[in-house]
Amino acid sequence: MTKPEILLIEPMMPEIEKQLDAAYTVHRFTSLAQLKDIAGRIRGIATGGATGVPQAVMDSLPALEIIAINGIGTDAVNLKEARQRNIHVTTTPGVLTDDVADMAIGLIISLLRGLPAGDRYVRDGEWGQKAAPPLGRKVTGKKLGIVGMGQVGRAIAHRARSFAMPVSYTDLRDLELKDYAFVSDLKKLARSSEILVIAASGGAGSRHLVNREVIDALGPDGFLINVARGSVVDEQALAQALDAGTLGGAGLDVFEHEPEVPEALRQSSRVVLQPHRASATVETRLAMGNLVVKNLAAHFADESLLTAVI
Ligand code: 8YV
């Protein structure tokens, strides 16, 4: 029996790619030109959350049946077109929640306690030679605001409780959560928070939700953490606020135009940066990859999908 042909747009762990190679003829995406002769045979795609499927790729694959996203974000896939063309879309919910929440807490501690500066001070042999890095800010007890109280938002809130942080959140509606206060207005949430963490989905609906006004409301003693999508924040306004000192600092795992990070952010001493690594652990990437493999297998065996969005 001939193997179904799929397109791998973003590399996955070798263990996972091995499974894909065993079950499919896998074409590793390089360019649109590469698709010219094979486009009509491609029935599935495996890709990353932020990478998604470029529109031109989607348009050039007439036989596409399924897009298996190795992540939870669907913002880089045209879901409307997928629905119209009866293309299934799957994601990897649940298995990356803990890692993303851990990264949010890691960025909070790293930013407020100045871990990168301390690390550099020791590494560069400055300890005992130059003045110590400036004092950090206390993490325990800080007022935490969470934008987007889905699985990740809740996992961050759960962790924050161990740090005695009062937690408030905003979402599309009041989720009536026992321990966390709902604040419908984002600006109001930012004003009453000392740390604002973004855990909302990306896409048109949340684009630049965190704008200049929200950043101003967070203020010079406030800290912004983003483990969701760069598009949720007006990055230029953020860079300007950091430069002017009207925002205390930012811990960022995601950016508007990855892998590009504005020079102003890279130069700022008020930020801690990560290259979109929130789900990047061996355990989680294996679990995510296995879900991708299982969803593809279910589709091609005509069985119900494990974690379908469409
Ligand atoms: C991954 C993500 O880094 O879940 C998502 O949507 O963006 C991240 O967890 C990504 O999917 C792997 O490329």
Task: Give the mutation target among 16, 69, 79, 96 for probing the ligand 1 site: most ligand atoms within 8 A of CB.
Answer: 96
Task: Give the mutation target among 79, 252, 254, 276 for probing the ligand 1 site: most ligand atoms within 8 A of CB.
Answer: 276
What is the chain's pLDDT, residue by residue, as a tens digit (310 residues)? 799 999 999 999 999 999 999 999 999 999 999 999 999 999 999 999 999 999 999 999 999 999 999 999 999 999 999 999 999 999 999 999 999 999 999 999 999 999 999 999 999 999 999 999 999 999 999 999 999 999 999 999 999 999 999 999 999 999 999 999 999 999 999 999 999 999 999 999 999 999 999 999 999 999 999 999 999 999 999 999 999 999 999 999 999 999 999 999 999 999 999 999 999 999 999 999 999 999 999 999 999 999 999 9
Closest-lying ligand 1 atom to the alpha carbon of residue 73: 6
Q: Using CA atoms, how far apart are residues 234 and 144, in angstroms rounded to an integer?
A: 20
**Cα dist from 140 to 143, 144, 206, 272, whole Å:** 9, 10, 29, 19
| pTM assigned to the model | 0.97
Ligand 1 center–CA 136 separation, angstroms? 31
Q: What is the CA radius of gyration of the chain?
A: 21
Residue whose CA is at the smallest distance from ligand 1 atom 12: 48
Helices (H), 114-166: 115-123, 151-162
- Cβ atoms of residues 96 and 75 within 8 Å: no
Q: Using CA atoms, how far apart are residues 16 and 14, in angstroms rounded to an integer?
A: 5
Ligand 1 center–CA 280 separation, angstroms? 8
Q: E-assigned strands of the chain?
A: 5-8, 25-28, 42-48, 66-70, 88-90, 144-147, 167-170, 181-182, 195-198, 223-226, 249-252, 271-273
